Structure 1
């Protein structure tokens, strides 16, 4: 795989015209999580996936099996360095947010949305380490999902699903 790879897929004509949500997927290890991220992205109307670092790309039969064809309809691109991609997206006047737990995050259920017309790129990170600290340092907002149990995190694909559907449900983006 080279430094850059891109797959463009037009959204169906019936897709609603709304402000865009894109996702920067940085160093996700699991092929199955990435397949699930493609399926969730299709259902939630995500306009682009930026697959970065060690994140598997479509072409792998196991990813294709989990994605159930969503990898053919969601535009995506591969970038070796997630931090550099985040800088590029900010330079394109996109708003970079992170989905991350911890004390620095604000509950996704309680923060104020502003300027929803500007495209948002939601960064998600590695299953064990979370979002890269360098990427976090670039983020305008760090949002999290409050946890009620003993465990302090969710599966990354599950967390993304909760976040993007919450944002869509409240018609904020």
Structure 2
């Protein structure tokens, strides 16, 4: 008798599956989080960063650190899995990311932004997200190498910054994984 392929994976199977994906993920991914002050957004961003293998987060402007007790409720301790820096001015965070070998791509609605799925997110990329109310600052946008936006077809003009970060980080990994040979299904067995 064959086991039901639709059963939920046991914790050991989940670890094995995640390890397989990790071995087949080479691109370095980082974030600059500018002036995101909502602690639950920060916690969500750090949890997403840990799940997708983001190696570093630069906080910029007046961003709330993940050590905030409310941020901890959402992050569930994942901030210890991602290195991060205390907030600095946005251009300084961009310089640090570039000095570490990252191409900096802001996620923002600008006249020259390309749709997220058309943006080149290959190689070592540092994605930038901005504050809940005003997005990325002009200084940060000027310092970024490129800008992309998340296409939306509904009647709402923007995403929550934690959700937008998750979409952008997932797309960066999706682009990398899509470039693998089709036989890499990595399915749980």
Q: How far did 1:25 drift?
A: 0.5
- What root-mean-square deviation, in Å, do the aligned CA atoms of Structure 1 and Structure 2 show? 2.0
Paired position in structure 1 for 2:83 = 75
Match of 2:56 in 1: 48
Corresponding position of 1:123: 128
Other structure's SS at 2:118 match: coil
Match of 2:151 in 1: 146
Contact kept in structure 2, 1:26 and 1:126, CA below 8 Å: yes
- Where in structure 2 are the equivalents of 1:80-91 lying within 5 Å? 80-91=88-99
Aligned partner of 1:5 in structure 2 is none
Which string of whole-angstrom CA distances, capped at 9 and with x for unpartnered residues, describes residues 133-173 of structure 1? 11111222101101112221111110111111111112169
Query: How far 1:59 moved relative to its partner?
Result: 2.3
State the TM-score, normalizing by the size of structure 1. 0.83
Report what 2:39 is aligned to.
31
CA distance in 2, matches of 1:60, 1:162: 24
Q: Which has the larger radius of gyration?
A: 2
CA distance in 1, matches of 2:35, 2:83: 18
3-state SS of paired residue (1:171): helix
Secondary structure of the 1:51 match is: strand
Would the aligned equivalents of 2:90 and 2:139 in 1 still touch at CA under 8 Å?
Answer: no
Tell me which residue corresponds to 1:105. Answer: 113
Q: Cα 1:91–1:60, aligned 2, differ >3 Å: closer, same or farther?
A: closer
Question: What is the CA distance between 1:89 and its match in structure 2?
Answer: 2.4
Contact 1:101 1:153 in 2 (8 A): no
Q: CA deviation at 1:80?
A: 2.4
Shift of 1:125: 0.4
Q: Note the C-alpha offset of 1:34.
A: 0.2
Consecutive unaligned residues in structure 2, runs of 5 or more: 1-18, 180-189
Structure 1 portions without partners, runs of 5+? 1-13
Contact 2:114–2:149 at 8 Å: present in 1 too?
yes
Query: What is residue 164 of structure 1 aligned with on the other side?
Result: 169
TM-score under structure 2 length normalisation: 0.76
